[in-house]
Structure 1
Amino acid sequence: MRLYELWFLFADKPLRFSLREFGDITGLKCEPEREKVGNGSESIDATPGRMWKELFETEDEDVTVPDVLRMLERPSLPEWKRLPLALIALVDGLLVCGHKLLRVTPAYVEMLEDTRSFLQYPWGREAFVSTLSRLRPPQPSDPSKMDKSLSVMRLRLKQQSTACYGFPLALQLFAFKAIPSLLEKIPEPNKTTSFLQEPEGCDSTNALLNFEDILLVETQTEVQCCCLSYLQNRS
């Protein structure tokens, strides 16, 4: 099993979701990181440091993304805090979600001491590793315990729902790109307005696809599945 690849079948056709496809779909930087930080499977956590104490004026680690958003709503918030707080909200709240309560990651906050370096960090790789952590068996420290990891994965697959961390939206974007027939099943497939243009779209959550639609596409005899890496090489 490769660390940066996930293979699966759709309509009996193999599809690969790897770091390369993730980068092509999201446009995020996916180069090897200079240091390992954060919530990904190859990362380490840090305790609150100087930047954390200056931003949040506390050593309490129980700070969440909703807390950060409430801070950004305050007119009295010092101007220098706005960009760092907005960046940490984007990373911990969207790109590398690592907790169901959206807790802020101390290691990421400390990286904000150098905003330029923070922006250049390969968040795509960090997000990808975090995303895959829930889509494959846990990596055991002892190879002889792989059977236990597989049992954990089987239990996850039997659940009606499961928590996805990282940036799972990339999987949906990948599916629409690799399986064009899925686009025919969503309402207004050609609509390209963003949340900035229609902020009311954030007020509710609507399922773009249901399980029956996906099964219907998969059973079509002429369903087309595209290899994204192949398309990228042709362009």
Structure 2
Amino acid sequence: MLNYSFSVFYNRFKCFTFLIWFLCLVFTQMSNNDSLDVLNLPPRIYNPGFEPNIGAVVIQHFETHLVKKVELALGEEQFNLIKASFLGPIIELAKRSGVNFSGKIFHFLMQRRLLLKEKNLWFTFDSQPMRFSEREFLLTTGVQCDLIDSEMLRKGKAPSKAPYFWTQKEHFTLEQLQKRLFEPNQLHPLDAEEKLSLGMVILTEAFLFTPGSLEKIPLSRLVHASEFAIYTSQPWGKHAYRVLATSIQRINENTWARGTYEVKGFAMAILLWAFSAVPSLGSAFATECVTSRSEYPLCLKWETTQTPRFSHENKQTETREESCSPPDEDSHENVNDEKVAQEEGATDEVPHANEENDPQCSNVNDKVSQKKEKQHEEMRNMDGAPQGTQESDSQRSNVNDKVAQTKEAQHNKMGHSEEPSQESDSQQSKVNDKVCIS
């Protein structure tokens, strides 16, 4: 009996222990799934879902017109050397008129940037982190981020010549270098090699670094410009990414609160990278290039880009269209009435002139008398015409219309005088008599 009761108690204890173990296993698995769904990210500028609807004007400089100017200044043969360098993909991108910078998408990404104290840039899209580092900059632009062996490039070539004067000092701006190439001085003419170096430096600075009009180019970016092979072997992708990342890391909510902020560097690279990293973003606001041979660099993957239009922007557009719409008929009538009133007021303010004192009035009378003489001649011609015909009737109506118009013109030009001259009355009576006789 005791053995039976002990066995029953032991079996129940085993079942209860197994049940507890199973429940602990289930709760542990559920907690692990919850920890996988919620990913703890570094702090962002705004919390997810609380990004304000604050627009801003993004200023960036991507001077595509310089490609054509440099090509005309250098010629086809020398310009092909630049196209064969690291700037080749960017030059081809600049010639695509459908690819444009979108400040709205760029500002959208800036509001979702992670605040990290490192050189890499991190953004979030649909709570998923995305990294934009030197590697992504290389994949997007094709510009090398490591130094190419310059000694190997110089092997078998003539030694380096004396550097140009604009590569030895740090007081030259991009506009001054453009003036040196596009408006050469006759006292200091340019040879073919200096033109090639100037064209390379101008396009590199204008696309990758985008200095301001008064900003001086650092000497470290000009010291190797005297020799084309050494200049093109420098890690320009690394320097360009550093300029872009430093400019973006200074942007925060206080920056776009002013309504306008500027970005240094090749900001177009972030947009083209985002179109490739987020397929839904690329399919909505960009069109892939059908003739592209490869997906890399990513800047040549896209043929056209678009700027999104938000709902509040459409309302503003509708308001602008309503304000720019033409006024209705009532408003037209009011405007015409105002014009007529102004004209009448202007005529009322003009004093009545006398024939004796005002020479202009006498000139008007002369013109009126000439018109009346012409009418007399027409009346005489009409006397010889046969009566009772349709032609005579039309001529009579035309003469009557001309007489009425002459009276109105005389009345307006004489300042609406209430007492017309006796000479005009006699002449008018003669004309009326002749019309009646005819």
User: TM-score range with shorter-chain normalisation?
Assistant: 0.5 to 0.7
Query: Which amino acid in 1 is paired with 2:282?
Result: L
Pick aligned residue for 2:131 from 16, 25, 49: 16
Contact 1:7–1:16 under 8 Å retained in 2: yes
**Structure 2 unaligned spans of 5+:** 1-115, 150-161, 292-303, 312-438
CA distance in 2: counterparts of 1:59 and 1:77, whole angstroms: 19
Inter-CA distance 112–60: structure 2 relative to 1 (3 Å threshold): closer
Inter-CA distance 114–2: structure 2 relative to 1 (3 Å threshold): farther
Deviations 1:88-124 (A, max 9, x none): 1122211122435464333222221333221111100
- The answer for the alignment partner of 1:165 in structure 2 is 264
- The answer for the alignment partner of 1:178 in structure 2 is 277
CA distance in 2: counterparts of 1:180 and 1:101, whole angstroms: 40
Deviation at 1:86, TM superposition (A): 0.9
Deviation at 1:21, TM superposition (A): 1.0
Contact 1:92–1:105 under 8 Å retained in 2: no
Query: Which amino acid in 2 is paired with 1:174?
Result: W
1:119 and 2:218 aligned: no
Pick aligned residue for 1:108 from 201, 221, 224: 221
Structure of larger gyration radius:
2
Inter-CA distance 159–180: structure 2 relative to 1 (3 Å threshold): farther
Inter-CA distance 2–27: structure 2 relative to 1 (3 Å threshold): farther
Pick aligned residue for 1:70 from 157, 179, 194: 179
Alignment of 1:171-210 (within 5 A): 171-186=270-285, 189-190=287-288, 208-210=306-308
Deviations 1:164-223 (A, max 9, x none): 112111111111111222233447x24579xxxxxxxxxxxx98323639xxxxxxxxxx
Inter-CA distance 2–115: structure 2 relative to 1 (3 Å threshold): farther
1:7 and 2:122 aligned: yes
CA distance in 1: counterparts of 2:238 and 2:131, whole angstroms: 16
Contact 1:88–1:104 under 8 Å retained in 2: no
CA distance in 2: counterparts of 1:52 and 1:91, whole angstroms: 18
Structure with bigger helix share is 2
- The answer for the alignment partner of 2:374 in structure 1 is none
Inter-CA distance 33–3: structure 2 relative to 1 (3 Å threshold): farther
Query: Which amino acid in 1 is paired with 2:182?
Result: E
CA distance in 1: counterparts of 2:282 and 2:266, whole angstroms: 20
The DSSP-based 3-state class of the residue aligned with 1:15 is strand
1:212 and 2:310 aligned: yes
- Aligned CA-pair RMSD: 3.5
TM-score between the two structures when normalised by the length of structure 2: 0.34
Greater relative contact order (Cα < 8 A, sep 6+): 1
Deviation at 1:127, TM superposition (A): 0.4
- The answer for the alignment partner of 1:231 in structure 2 is none
Inter-CA distance 66–124: structure 2 relative to 1 (3 Å threshold): same
Inter-CA distance 184–68: structure 2 relative to 1 (3 Å threshold): same
CA distance in 1: counterparts of 2:305 and 2:267, whole angstroms: 14
Contact 1:25–1:170 under 8 Å retained in 2: yes
The DSSP-based 3-state class of the residue aligned with 1:3 is coil
Contact 1:96–1:167 under 8 Å retained in 2: yes
Inter-CA distance 74–31: structure 2 relative to 1 (3 Å threshold): same
TM-score between the two structures when normalised by the length of structure 1: 0.59
Contact 2:163–2:226 under 8 Å retained in 1: yes
Contact 1:4–1:19 under 8 Å retained in 2: no
Number of residue equivalences:
169
Between the aligned residues of both structures, percent identity stands at 23
Contact 1:112–1:118 under 8 Å retained in 2: yes
CA distance in 1: counterparts of 2:133 and 2:143, whole angstroms: 13
CA distance in 1: counterparts of 2:199 and 2:215, whole angstroms: 14
Inter-CA distance 174–59: structure 2 relative to 1 (3 Å threshold): closer
CA distance in 1: counterparts of 2:215 and 2:206, whole angstroms: 6
Deviations 1:136-177 (A, max 9, x none): 14xxxxxxxxxxxxxx74421433221111211111111111
Contact 1:68–1:89 under 8 Å retained in 2: yes
Deviation at 1:60, TM superposition (A): 7.9
Deviation at 1:74, TM superposition (A): 4.2
The DSSP-based 3-state class of the residue aligned with 1:162 is strand
Inter-CA distance 172–14: structure 2 relative to 1 (3 Å threshold): same
